[in-house]
Structures are given as C-alpha cells and as structure tokens.
Amino acid sequence: MAYIQGAANSDGFNDILSVTLSSDVTAGSTVIAVWVTGGSQPDTVTTSGSGTFTDFTTGTAGGGAFAGSALPKNAASGPHTITLTMPGPGSLRMVAVEYGGLTTFDVASTLADGFGSSAVGNNATPAASGETAIGIVHAIGSGTTLSSWLSSLSEDVELVANAHTFGFASIASAGAGAINAGATLSAGGSWTAWILFLSGGGGGASIVPLAAHQYRQRRA
C-alpha cells in the first residue's frame, strides 16, 4: 500500500464541482473522494473513467454534519475526473487521493466533528487484521496544518481547498482491534475526523466516495 497522488478543488457558490487527478490511475489502486459542502448531501458522485459509486451508507455527526460511504465497483486504470453534483448551489470543496494496492473497501467509522485544536474521531473495527487503515481529518482555517496523528497513523499528505485542510494518514497493516483517526491542529477551529479500512486483491482500480460533510463555521 502506498499513497500515490492527490488533487483538490473548490467553488464558493455552485451546484457542481470536479477534481482531476494529474496522472493516470494505476490498475490495482483505490481513489478516495472526500468532499465538504455548505448545504446538503450530493445528488451524484461520478467519475470520467469507468466505474460507479454504489452501496452508499449515510449518517450524521455532531452539529448537523452528513456522512456517506460506498463500496468500490470496478473503476478502470487511466485518467479520472471526479464530479460532485448538488441539488442546489452552495459552497463546495473536494479532494481526491489515490492509494496503490488497495481494491476492497471494508468499513468506515461514522464522522466525529468538533471545535478546537485536537481532532478525535470515532472508532471503526476491521473485519480482520492486516487491513490498511486510512485516517482522514478535515480542518477549517487558513494555513492550518496537522500533526501528532492518533493510533500510530503516519501522515501521507495534506491537501488544501480554499482554507480547508484535508489530511490523510495510514497504517499499512493494522491489527484486528478498533482504532480511530485524529490529529493536533496548528490552530483551533472546526474539524471533522474519521477512519476507513481497505485491503488489496482483485483486478483493476476502484473508487471509494468516502464522506460528505455539511459544515458550518463555529465560534469558540
């Protein structure tokens, strides 16, 4: 398992947003799309490459946030532009990352959100030991960076979409027990944290739309 590439995009007021990965996706990889919206859940999430987003699971986190996850279904290697379509215009931010050697989605935690300098996510338990755990922390605040990840997660990348930081950290071979994602923010602000488990095997690449979070700025 290895982080390969990532891209970010934002729009202050629109009902559609796309993120294009700069290099072709490699066969046997997983692409994770993560978005933050100022309004509601998206109507659709699609990719320009072959493959579909299916088996969505949605839930809520504190503060009226929305979350969604889905199983990957046969995304092909090659160029990929991920497009988010909303029911109406609003503030949109999205990132997409590629991890090599992962083709099967297992489970994701529910989202946890809060305000401050310490992001602490909810636990998730893999089906078996040896899966890859990928933690995600989203933080609002210009110039905010992340450090001191929980659960021995090692940071892979931080992507910024218009003052929103999206951090990804991973463990290549996690144990069988429940763990969570979290990190220290360089400046206090609104945050969201969650974790997912994936494993390798199978043929072509896969796409995992991981989470949609309806955010609202909070005051300390």
> pTM, whole model, 2 decimals?
0.91
DSSP single-letter state for residue 179: B
Q: Comparing C-alpha atoms, which of 24, 145, 151, 14 is closest to residue 5?
A: 24
List, for residues 6-18, the tens digit of each pLDDT value: 999 999 899 999 9
List, for residues 115-147, the tens digit of each pLDDT value: 999 999 999 999 999 999 999 998 988 999 999
**Averaged over 84-102, what is the pLDDT?**
86
Write down the pLDDT at residue 152.
Answer: 97
List, for residues 185-217, the tens digit of each pLDDT value: 999 988 889 998 988 865 567 777 766 566 554
Where do the structural domains in the chain lie, given as residue ranges? 2-214
Distance between CA 179 and CA 107 in Å, rounded?
12
Distance between CA 51 and CA 87 in Å, rounded?
22
Phi-psi region of 202 (alpha: psi -120 to 50; beta: other; left: phi over 0): left
